């Protein structure tokens, strides 16, 4: 069990921190909430105590014999501030210690994640941008705010990212992963990345289709991971189980393999990286009935199929100069050596830069939160990863960055 200190500042997004506490506790972590006095104007002390299961630390004088302004920061495995106001960012940069939370930030020796939330003008102000850059230079992980509805009728960048995304980042840090430094450095800033996800569906009639077991979770994880690392992300989503809502990610919905091919070809025109994590159907009915096909005695029906377009091969064939393309290969080969041989052959045949191959025998990957993947490029095996899909997504993005650096992109 890790010890997480959740700092909450006085912004309207403070109510979202309630969900962050719940998710962290559900993941098995001990949470101590340190609200600023202004935060308590939005969510009361009783709420924080009930959600966290711990006493709430509100000032440096309560339980003074335990030296809370030093003890809390020293004992934490992670300090997470969500939301963080512009005022908190300024005070943290200046090294102020005028409330318990800023004392915690000064004494913490563990990783620190800060999640700003404020109106667009405040976020874009040169002073705030300077403070964010300064915190990042000191090793603090600062997540960019999302774009969306703010307090009142305003819409713009400054919205707190969704609690699920914040907790995903926190869990990666708590795992001790080096991903924390990549998030903090925003190593994909300025890169336009498109990722496809989910399984396509080919209609037989208005109510029946040919599909596959892909949940789309790996593709969504890739979109979230790339956004965390600063990329400008487009998610081309076929059928996906669960939520596709990712902060500051443009989502395009598709249904069939033909739809997917068209959408990916369109985004390829202005994206630097294409990740084909979707599971397109390889076959589609030659004809589709416009009405529901009725059962007639016990004779059954015959459906004639034809091959669909090879989306990945089309993308590599038409690639722009400097564009990096990642393919996926789901195989039913349990022997790792044979699996890698099949992966190398597909990498060569498809012409992509990186190929992610995994064994899906028995449906053991579909719909799961974890996966085992092998990441290949033209030089051979880069990495084999057994982890959550989010961590696997970051390892795939690591390979993308290595590839682009080797090409001088």
Whether the pLDDT of residue 13 is over 80: the answer is: yes
Q: Do domains 3-185 and 192-407 have the same CATH topology?
A: yes
Computed over every residue of the chain, the mean pLDDT equals: 91
pLDDT of amino acid 242: 75
Which range is least confidently modeled, 59-73, 306-320, 374-388? 59-73
Q: What is the DSSP string of 313-361?
A: HHHHHTPPTT-EEEEEEEE----HHHHHHHHHHHHHHHT-SEEEEEE-G
Burial annotation 255-294 (CB, 10 A radius, 16+ → b, else e): ebbbbbbebbeebbeebbbbbbbbbbbeebbeeebeeeee
Q: What average pLDDT does range 303-324 have in this prediction?
A: 95
pLDDT of amino acid 367: 64
Bridging pattern class, strands 78-84 and 232-237: unpaired
The values of phi and psi at residue 342, to 5°, are: -65, -40
User: Over the stretch 194-232, which tens digit does the pLDDT of each residue have?
Assistant: 999 999 999 999 999 999 889 999 999 999 999 989 899
pLDDT of amino acid 25: 96
Contact 330, 371 (CB under 8 A): no
pLDDT of amino acid 54: 94
Read off the pTM: 0.85
Indicate the pLDDT class of residue 26, thresholds 50, 70 and 90.
very high
- The burial class, CB within 10 Å (0-12 / 13-18 / 19+), for 383 is middle
Class of CATH domain 192-407: alpha beta
Q: What average pLDDT does range 188-197 have in this prediction?
A: 96
Catalytic residue at 212?
Answer: yes
Indicate the pLDDT class of residue 14, thresholds 50, 70 and 90.
very high
User: Over the stretch 96-133, which tens digit does the pLDDT of each residue have?
Assistant: 999 999 999 999 999 999 999 999 999 999 999 999 99
Would you kindly state where each structural domain of the chain is located, as residue ranges? 3-185, 192-407
User: Over the stretch 91-100, which tens digit does the pLDDT of each residue have?
Assistant: 999 999 999 9
pLDDT of amino acid 63: 59
Bridging pattern class, strands 202-205 and 208-210: antiparallel
Contacts of 44 (CB under 8 A, 6+ apart): none
Which range is least confidently modeled, 29-38, 153-162, 268-277, 394-403? 153-162
Q: What is the DSSP string of 167-215?
A: HHHHHHHHTT-THHHHHHHTTTTT-EEEEEESB--EEEETTEEE-----
User: Over the stretch 374-401, which tens digit does the pLDDT of each residue have?
Assistant: 999 999 999 999 988 999 999 999 999 9
Residue 394 sits at the vertex; the CA angle it makes with 322 and 312, to the nearest 5 degrees, is: 45
Separation of alpha carbons 238 and 199, rounded Å: 6
Contact 30, 3 (CB under 8 A): yes
Which one has a higher pLDDT value, 379 or 154?
379
User: Over the stretch 138-150, which tens digit does the pLDDT of each residue have?
Assistant: 999 999 898 888 7
Catalytic site residue from 212, 318, 335, 358:
212
Q: What is the DSSP string of 10-72?
A: SSGGGGGHHHHHHHHHHTT-EEEEEE-TTGGGTS-HHHHHHHHSS-----SSTTGGG-HHHHH
> What's the CATH code, domain 3-185?
3.40.50.1950
Q: What is the CA radius of gyration of the chain?
A: 24
């Amino acid at each position: 069990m890790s010890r997480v200190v959740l700092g909450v500042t006085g912004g309207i997004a403070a109510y979202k921190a309630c969900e962050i506490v719940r998710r962290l506790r559900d993941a098995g972590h001990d949470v101590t909430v340190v609200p600023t006095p202004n935060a308590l104007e939005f969510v009361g002390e009783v709420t924080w105590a009930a959600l966290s299961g711990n006493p709430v630390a509100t000032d440096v004088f309560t339980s003074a014999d335990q030296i809370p302004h030093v003890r809390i920061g020293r004992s934490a495995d992670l300090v997470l501030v969500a939301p963080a106001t512009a005022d908190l960012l300024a005070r943290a940069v200046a090294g102020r210690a005028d409330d318990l939370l800023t004392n915690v930030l000064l004494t913490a020796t563990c990783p620190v994640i800060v999640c700003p939330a404020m109106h667009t003008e405040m976020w874009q102000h040169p002073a705030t941008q300077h403070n964010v850059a300064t915190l990042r230079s000191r090793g603090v992980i600062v997540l960019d705010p999302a774009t969306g509805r703010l307090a009142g009728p305003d819409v713009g960048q400054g919205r707190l990212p969704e609690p699920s995304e914040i907790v995903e980042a926190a869990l990666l840090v708590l795992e001790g992963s080096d991903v924390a430094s990549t998030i903090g450095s925003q190593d994909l800033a300025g890169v336009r990345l498109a990722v496809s996800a989910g399984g396509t569906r080919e209609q037989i009639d208005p109510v029946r289709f040919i599909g596959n077991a892909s949940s789309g979770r790996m593709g969504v994880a890739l979109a979230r991971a790339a956004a965390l690392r600063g990329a400008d992300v487009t998610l081309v989503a076929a059928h996906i189980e669960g939520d596709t809502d990712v902060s500051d990610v443009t989502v395009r919905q598709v249904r069939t393999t033909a739809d997917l091919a068209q959408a990916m070809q369109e985004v390829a025109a202005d994206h630097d990286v294409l990740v084909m994590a979707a599971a397109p159907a390889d076959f589609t009915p030659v004809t589709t009935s416009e009405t529901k096909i009725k059962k007639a005695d016990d004779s059954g029906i015959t459906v004639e199929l034809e091959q669909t377009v090879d989306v990945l091969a089309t993308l590599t064939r038409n690639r722009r100069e400097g564009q990096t393309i990642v393919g996926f290969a789901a195989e039913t080969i349990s022997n790792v050596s044979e699996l890698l041989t099949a992966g190398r052959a597909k990498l060569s045949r498809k012409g992509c830069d990186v190929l992610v191959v995994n064994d899906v025998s028995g449906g053991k990957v579909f719909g799961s939160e974890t996966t085992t993947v092998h990441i290949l490029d033209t030089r051979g095996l880069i990495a084999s990863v057994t982890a959550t899909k989010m961590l696997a997504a970051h390892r795939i993005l690591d390979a993308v960055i290595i590839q682009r650096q080797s090409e001088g992109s």
